[in-house]
């Protein structure tokens, strides 16, 4: 009863920002991401009759506390689905998501856990069923089941059975690149969970965010179809700014940006004014991701590395979906 799977992380170009159901992780808006080749998690799950509770090892270190609880609660869902309610698992995860790149590992982590654990317990799930299950571990993780450009369709149902990701274009469709820019002070003070909740509950800008989504999604999908990079970048950057604007209107107000975050944003926009098509997007933290095309890789990398306060720049290509090992 053993399974091993590998999943890549993803970066949202249209952000998931807000839940309509916390327990099932049902979002208030659809989102669209790019799966990234450079960052992944490899997980082995073994269900064993001799265990009286789950074990979770991350990079060979036993994990306890909140992170352990999230994994064990997710395994409860897998146990329930399989009908094997009284069997525990040893979970071994290896994160190839350098902390320096400033990515949350929850997307690749929960996608790999879902794939490996369902395989180990003998469930045969379709990618769609796997995405629905993965979503309940971490929202953004449901997009990592697929490679390339991926849309998480929010769905309408109360039970969440129509809230899952679908592939918009595969990983070899278009060679768009991403540079993960890490800044020297990366302390994350407000988690994505807490940040979403506070903006949904208190920000007067939140309704504006929701109103903007259908058009942003439509435009982004058109840009992907036309392979129009300037259009893709402009929509992604503007969508990111709208998401971050909602946090400034929250009560109490907050922002994920540091001074260096803003410096990197300005440097990217300045580069653009000189004719290099490069755009930024930012998740629930201070680090910046730059989007660019292969022919501009060198100039973009050296520009980013020379910004004071930037500690590392990690490059990535588009990545594939779940694989079983």
Residues forming the site for ligand PMV (CB under 6 A): 12, 15-16, 31, 104, 106, 138-140, 192-193, 283-284
Write out the DSSP string of 5-38. EEEEEEEEEE----EEETTTTEESS-EEEEEEEE
Q: Which is nearer to ligand PMV, 31 or 287 (CB)?
A: 31
In contact, 57 and 91? CB cutoff 8 Å:
yes
Are residues 118 and 322 in contact, defined by beta-carbon separation less than 8 angstroms?
A: no
Considering the complex, what minimum distance in angstroms separates the CB of residue 214 from ligand PMV? Answer: 16
Q: Which is nearer to ligand PMV, 47 or 206 (CB)?
A: 206
Of 97 and 121, nearer to ligand PMV (C-beta) is 97
Question: Toward ligand PMV, which CB reaches closer, 12 or 223?
Answer: 12
Contact 36, 316 (CB under 8 A): yes
The rounded distance, in Å, linking the Cα atoms of 285 and 71 is 23
- Asked if 140 and 164 touch (Cβ cutoff 8 Å), the reply is no
CB nearer to ligand PMV: pick between 89 and 154 = 154
CB of 51 to ligand PMV, least distance (A): 28
Shortest Å, Cβ 270 to ligand PMV? 25
Decide: 13 and 180 in contact? Cβ < 8 Å. no
User: In the bound complex, what is the minimum distance in angstroms from residue 29's beta carbon to ligand PMV?
Assistant: 9
Least distance from ligand PMV to the Cβ atom of residue 68, Å: 17
Note whether 277 and 170 are within 8 A (CB). no
């Amino acid at each position: 009863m053993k399974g091993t799977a590998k999943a890549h992380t993803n970066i949202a170009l249209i952000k998931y920002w807000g839940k309509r159901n916390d327990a099932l992780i049902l979002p208030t808006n659809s989102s669209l991401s790019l799966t990234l080749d450079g960052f992944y998690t490899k997980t082995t799950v073994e269900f064993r009759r001799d265990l009286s509770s789950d074990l979770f090892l991350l990079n060979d270190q036993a994990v306890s506390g909140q992170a352990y609880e999230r994994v064990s609660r997710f395994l409860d869902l897998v146990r329930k689905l399989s009908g094997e309610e009284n069997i525990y698992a040893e979970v071994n995860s290896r994160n190839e998501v350098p902390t320096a790149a400033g990515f949350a590992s929850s997307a690749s982590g929960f996608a790999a856990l879902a794939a490996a654990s369902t395989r180990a317990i003998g469930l045969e799930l379709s990618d769609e069923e796997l995405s629905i299950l993965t979503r309940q571990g971490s929202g953004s993780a449901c997009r990592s089941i697929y490679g390339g450009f991926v849309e998480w369709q929010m769905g309408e149902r109360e039970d969440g059975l129509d809230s899952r990701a679908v592939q918009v274009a595969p990983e070899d469709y278009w060679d768009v690149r991403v540079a993960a820019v890490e800044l020297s002070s990366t302390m994350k003070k407000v988690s994505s969970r807490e940040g979403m909740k506070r903006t949904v509950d208190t920000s007067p800008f939140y309704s504006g965010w929701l109103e903007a989504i259908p058009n942003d999604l439509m435009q982004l999908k058109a840009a992907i179809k036309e392979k129009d990079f300037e259009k893709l970048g402009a929509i992604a950057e503007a969508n990111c700014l709208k998401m971050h604007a909602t946090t400034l209107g929250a009560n109490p107000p907050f922002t994920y940006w540091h001074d260096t975050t803003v410096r990197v944003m300005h440097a990217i926009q300045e580069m653009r004014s000189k004719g290099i098509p490069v755009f930024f997007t930012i998740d629930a933290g201070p680090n910046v991701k730059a989007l660019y095309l292969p022919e501009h890789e060198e100039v973009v990398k050296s520009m980013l590395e020379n910004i004071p306060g930037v500690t590392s720049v990690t490059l990535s290509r588009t990545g594939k979906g779940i694989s079983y090992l």
